[in-house]
């Protein structure tokens, strides 16, 4: 019964999400007190724009209201609608997930071995990772779900100390007399 209910919700929500230029990544309904919480995760190759997601949320709400007005009770009683992106905690399972995370550091089980590497490329056949300088290509059939590793600052973005022309002694002297 729950699967039929989910399919009816998907039939209403998915066309609105697609028309907005997004992929529907997840749809869940849970009970929160006396209400239901309908969570919808969307993503696109261009990323998720907050203004566009707000508009998408209004479109989904209108579509749900229209379905309810047509006699199709999709969510009994009050509900809260939450539309957003899946975030970094989403496992990378589909080729589009891997493509969207090109250049990101990921952890994945590949052919029974746990690897951490940077996504260099992803196509319909598999993923190419840089694992400690070693370029490895793995077909999707050999991969478990990948997980993006949060990097606060990528090494390549850090300034090279050899490139900085800062003379600390000169800085101190200027600061003391204001010149």
pLDDT band at 95 (very low <50, low <70, confident <90, very high): very high
Looking at residue 171, its pLDDT comes to 45
Q: Does residue 168 have a pLDDT over 80?
A: no
CB neighbour class for 142 (10 Å; exposed up to 12, middle 13-18, buried from 19)? middle
Listed range (40-49, 54-63, 82-91, 151-160) with the worst mean pLDDT: 151-160
pLDDT band at 62 (very low <50, low <70, confident <90, very high): very high
On whether the CB atoms of residues 61 and 81 are closer than 8 A, the answer is: yes
Cα–Cα distance measured from residue 81 to residue 30, given in angstroms and rounded to the nearest whole number = 11
Looking at residue 155, its pLDDT comes to 57
pTM score of the predicted model: 0.67
- Domains of the chain, start order: 2-84 (3.30.300.70), 95-157 (2.30.30.100)
Q: Does residue 163 have a pLDDT over 80?
A: no
Which residue shows structure tokens 């840089």?
A: 130
* Range 83-87 average pLDDT: 86
* Tens-place pLDDT, residues 99-136: 999 999 999 999 899 999 999 999 999 999 999 999 99
CA 118 to chain CA centroid, nearest Å: 16
* Range 7-17 average pLDDT: 95
Q: Give the 3-state secondary structure of residue 92.
A: strand
What are the residues whose beta carbons fall under 8 Å from the beta carbon of 8, sequence distance 6 or more? 72, 74
Q: Give the 3-state secondary structure of residue 129.
A: strand
More confident site: 65 or 163? 65
Q: Find residue 128's DSSP bridge partners.
A: 121, 137
Q: Which two tokens stand for residue 31?
A: 């009970």
On whether the CB atoms of residues 9 and 29 are closer than 8 A, the answer is: yes
Cα–Cα distance measured from residue 33 to residue 66, given in angstroms and rounded to the nearest whole number = 25
Q: Does residue 169 have a pLDDT over 50?
A: no
């Amino acid at each position: 019964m729950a699967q039929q209910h989910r399919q009816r919700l998907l039939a209403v929500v998915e066309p609105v999400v697609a028309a907005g230029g997004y992929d529907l990544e997840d749809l869940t309904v849970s009970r929160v007190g006396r209400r239901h919480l309908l969570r919808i995760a969307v993503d696109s190759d261009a990323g998720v724009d907050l203004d566009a997601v707000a508009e998408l949320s209004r479109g989904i709400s209108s579509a749900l209201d229209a379905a309810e007005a047509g006699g199709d009770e999709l969510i009994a009683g009050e509900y809260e609608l939450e539309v957003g992106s899946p975030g970094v905690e989403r496992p990378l399972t589909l080729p589009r997930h891997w493509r969207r995370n090109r250049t990101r550091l990921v952890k994945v089980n590949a052919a029974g071995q746990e690897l951490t590497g940077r996504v260099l490329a992803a196509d319909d056949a598999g993923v190419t990772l840089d694992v400690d300088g070693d370029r490895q290509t793995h077909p999707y059939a050999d991969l478990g779900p990948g997980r993006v590793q949060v990097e606060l600052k990528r090494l390549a973005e850090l300034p090279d100390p050899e490139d900085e022309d800062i003379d600390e002694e000169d800085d101190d002297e200027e600061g003391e007399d204001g010149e």
